[in-house]
Chain A
Amino acid sequence: MSWIFKINHLSDVEKEGLYRILIPPSIFHRFHIHPILFLNEKRERLVRFYCPPKDNATLIEIKQDLIDQDSIFFVQVSDTNDRTQIRLDFIIVNDPHSERFNTDVDTLGKDTLFGRANRNITEEIRALQAGLAPGQVKHGLRLTGDFLQCLEHFCRILGIKSILLDGLFYHNAIIYEKYGFSYFEGFKMMRRINELFQPGSILCEKLDGSTPFRQIGFHKTIRGRSWAIHDGILRDVDDELIEGGWSSPKMYKMVDKTRQICSFSDASF
């Protein structure tokens, strides 16, 4: 029996006690949330857990105010077929005090599926100009590293050996590399993208200012490349390894064993 499924059969107090480990402690301090009771100063419970028996996934959400549209912290982890692995389905961190960019919905209010189904170009331009990466609706809180430490600690306690995830966007994959993740699938694509973004190569040449997301110089930064890829630049190139455009790489990290994978050396965000 896999771990999440097993934990979900415990009492609420027990499972919340275990899943609490997944929340970076700085969130409690920063947003004045009691780390044991999950209450704010107005005694409202701001941390919610979805972990019913029979499900093999768990979801934790923290909002600054329960009526807020966006969460401060939203994480979903699930079991895989192998009980020594855990899958990180989603991790979303938003700074509640930052401006919102509606890149997640189109002009009719329909889900863009992170740009897979549709794009809200106006909002994406605003987000780009404000320094956000594709897929973000607000600035983050720079908690990815803290969260991954929490997740590793959780795995260590349970004897889980590896963490799996999909790198949804280019910048996600590069960031996970920096935290010691390696690739099941997609490394060749990542390496090829880096080659083609080198000065004089085809992707770099295509950063010609033809759209706001393909600005000259974008090849130098993780975020710039990610926006260009989100804008479909890979589909404009005839290359065997990046045929069909961006495909989220499948990544993993062995707990306590950091890999030194780097598909974009000297990268800045």
Chain B
Amino acid sequence: MKKIFISSTGVRSGQSLAVWCVGEMLRSQGLRVGFFKPFVTRPVSHNGRIIDKDALLMKEYFDLPEELSILCPVVPEEVPGDEVAREEQLMRIEECYEKVQKEKDALIIMGSEKIFYEPDSPYLPDGVLVNRFNAPVLLVDKFQNENMSMYSVLAIDSFLKDKVKFVFVNQIPLESVDAAYNKLVPFFQKRGTPMIFLVPQDRILTSLTVRNIVDIIQGEVLTGENRLENLVESTSISSSHLKGSLHLFRRIYNKIILLGLETDALNTPLISSKVTGILLTGGRRPAPIIVNTCGDLGIPLAVTPFDTFVTMEKIQKQQTHITYKDVYKLKRFVQLLGGDEAIQKIVTQLDEIYKF
């Protein structure tokens, strides 16, 4: 069985998407893919239990038979951080690991949110787990600058004794892509390892969907249910975005306009933002003409009980996590990573590692 441990240099690096992406790559090769994440780091309450959002995503998408409490067994907050507890945690992790690897050709093990050791972290350091599972590592690094990425990768690889085999340098601002490519790729090519992939910052990956926003603001959809997967890059209260029959909305002051890409335009991401949804704030029901106008134009319209200020605060503060419905993000990530060529490189390299 092939194993790969996916870790991250920091929070919000795109680790979850990388895990999903590698899983999909391996499955596309006909492998039976399993998933294991020792610690709940993205908790959510589910039927009265704390579960992990990544485990839920992988279970739903890959149709994994194991219980969520097996796929991601340890809730750090539930146990004290002493030595005895740590031992118990390790025993529980190993017990579950034995179960999830059964009848699998490839197992993805997902680390915590950051691989660097932190004394007050409730999780066992990823380094300990990597050694315990003796797995090659894929590191996801949120780009800050070339030197920082280089330093992070080399430091972690040295600490893990050359176990880092792949690196995804993610969210590279467009203005830094050339510099990153010219510096990082030759450096690691010359060194021979790890294999490096650069992923530029992307409007599709950073967008929410209208559905995400409706969930966040406890909205009620009045029309446009079939367009809730439209992307939202930004919001505005300005009526200047409202052309044609949407001009009617200029008479409404309790509105927030959602701007982004329509679902049909995901393959042409260079086009400019348009109105992909409209929120009416303050709970007031709109006139039928408003609902009909949006319905005719295929623009989702939702009403939220919160006023404009609270609604915006909720949208800005809320960090949504990818779910199995966000397949467009998975596809986009694979595409940005290099598509089939990248898949082949990663699969071949994994084959090489497990040849003997």
* Chain A positions near chain B (C-beta within 8 angstroms): 48, 50, 52, 54-57, 59, 61, 74, 76, 78-80, 87, 89-90, 92, 105-106, 108-114, 116-118, 166, 168
Q: Which of A87, A113, A166 has the most CB of B within 10 A?
A: A113
Name the B residues within 8 Å of A110 (CB-CB). Answer: 284-288
How many whole Å from A77's CB to the nearest CB in chain B? Answer: 9
Complex CA–CA separation, A50 to B237 (angstroms): 9
Residues B233-250 near A (CB distance < 8 A): 234-240, 248, 250
* Contact A116 to B253, CB < 8 A, known contacts A110-B286, A111-B286: no
Name the A residues within 8 Å of B289 (CB-CB). Answer: 113, 116-117
Name the B residues within 8 Å of A56 (CB-CB). Answer: 236, 238, 240
On whether the beta carbons of B287 and A117 are closer than 8 Å, the reply is yes
On whether the beta carbons of A76 and B237 are closer than 8 Å, the reply is yes
Complex CA–CA separation, A79 to B241 (angstroms): 11
Given pairs A55-B238, A111-B285, 5 additional interface contacts (CB within 8 A): A74-B253, A78-B240, A90-B253, A116-B248, A117-B287
For residue B290, CB closer than 8 A to chain A, the reply is: yes
Closest A-chain residue to B311, C-beta based? A50
How many whole Å from B320's CB to the nearest CB in chain A? Answer: 18
Name the A residues within 8 Å of B235 (CB-CB). Answer: 52, 55
For residue B57, CB closer than 8 A to chain A, the reply is: no
How many whole Å from A56's CB to the nearest CB in chain B? Answer: 5
On whether the beta carbons of B312 and A50 are closer than 8 Å, the reply is yes
On whether the beta carbons of B238 and A54 are closer than 8 Å, the reply is no
Complex CA–CA separation, A113 to B290 (angstroms): 9
* Contact A111 to B316, CB < 8 A, known contacts A56-B236, A76-B253, A89-B239: no
On whether the beta carbons of A108 and B240 are closer than 8 Å, the reply is no
For residue B193, CB closer than 8 A to chain A, the reply is: no
Complex CA–CA separation, A97 to B235 (angstroms): 34
Complex CA–CA separation, A50 to B306 (angstroms): 14
Q: Interface code B212-249, partner A: CB below 8 Å = 1, 0 otherwise?
A: 00000000000000000000001111111000000010
For residue B207, CB closer than 8 A to chain A, the reply is: no
Closest A-chain residue to B309, C-beta based? A48
**Residue among A59, A79, A105, A113 making CB contact with B248, cutoff 8 Å:** A113
Interface size class of B (residues with CB under 8 A): 20 to 34
Q: Which of B251, B286, B289, B309 has the most CB of A within 10 A?
A: B251
Complex CA–CA separation, A116 to B249 (angstroms): 11
On whether the beta carbons of A61 and B252 are closer than 8 Å, the reply is no
For residue B201, CB closer than 8 A to chain A, the reply is: no
* Contact A109 to B285, CB < 8 A, known contacts A50-B308, A50-B312, A90-B253: yes
How many whole Å from A33's CB to the nearest CB in chain B? Answer: 17
How many whole Å from A191's CB to the nearest CB in chain B? Answer: 25
Closest B-chain residue to A56, C-beta based? B238
Complex CA–CA separation, A78 to B240 (angstroms): 8
Name the B residues within 8 Å of A113 (CB-CB). Answer: 248, 251-252, 287, 289-290
On whether the beta carbons of A59 and B308 are closer than 8 Å, the reply is yes
Q: Which of B237, B240, B248, B288 has the most CB of A within 10 A?
A: B237
On whether the beta carbons of B238 and A78 are closer than 8 Å, the reply is yes
Complex CA–CA separation, A112 to B284 (angstroms): 10
* Contact A55 to B237, CB < 8 A, known contacts A50-B312, A114-B251: yes
Name the A residues within 8 Å of B287 (CB-CB). Answer: 106, 110-113, 116-118
Complex CA–CA separation, A61 to B312 (angstroms): 14
Name the A residues within 8 Å of B288 (CB-CB). Answer: 110, 117
* Contact A117 to B240, CB < 8 A, known contacts A48-B309, A92-B253, A108-B285: no
Name the A residues within 8 Å of B284 (CB-CB). Answer: 105, 109-111
Complex CA–CA separation, A35 to B312 (angstroms): 24
Complex CA–CA separation, A204 to B117 (angstroms): 84
On whether the beta carbons of B239 and A78 are closer than 8 Å, the reply is yes
On whether the beta carbons of A55 and B308 are closer than 8 Å, the reply is no
Name the A residues within 8 Å of B240 (CB-CB). Answer: 56-57, 78-80, 87
Complex CA–CA separation, A110 to B288 (angstroms): 8
On whether the beta carbons of B253 and A55 are closer than 8 Å, the reply is no
What are 26 A-B interface contacts by the 8 Å CB criterion?
Answer: A50-B237, A52-B235, A54-B236, A55-B235, A56-B240, A59-B308, A74-B253, A76-B237, A78-B240, A89-B253, A106-B287, A108-B285, A109-B285, A110-B286, A111-B284, A111-B286, A111-B287, A111-B290, A113-B251, A113-B252, A113-B289, A113-B290, A116-B248, A116-B251, A116-B289, A168-B251
Complex CA–CA separation, A79 to B251 (angstroms): 17
How many whole Å from B201's CB to the nearest CB in chain A? Answer: 15
Closest B-chain residue to A77, C-beta based? B238
How many whole Å from A248's CB to the nearest CB in chain B? Answer: 9
On whether the beta carbons of B250 and A166 are closer than 8 Å, the reply is yes
Name the A residues within 8 Å of B308 (CB-CB). Answer: 50, 59
Complex CA–CA separation, A166 to B284 (angstroms): 23
How many whole Å from A205's CB to the nearest CB in chain B? Answer: 31
Name the B residues within 8 Å of A105 (CB-CB). Answer: 284-285
Complex CA–CA separation, A59 to B284 (angstroms): 19
Complex CA–CA separation, A80 to B238 (angstroms): 10
How many whole Å from B237's CB to the nearest CB in chain A? Answer: 5
How many whole Å from A1's CB to the nearest CB in chain B? Answer: 15
10 closest Cβ contacts across the A-B interface? Answer: A117-B287, A57-B238, A78-B238, A110-B285, A113-B251, A90-B253, A117-B289, A55-B236, A57-B237, A48-B309
Q: Which of B238, B289, B309, B316 has the most CB of A within 10 A?
A: B238
**Residue among B251, B285, B309 making CB contact with A50, cutoff 8 Å:** B309
Name the B residues within 8 Å of A112 (CB-CB). Answer: 287
* Contact A79 to B238, CB < 8 A, known contacts A50-B308, A116-B251: yes
Closest B-chain residue to A113, C-beta based? B251
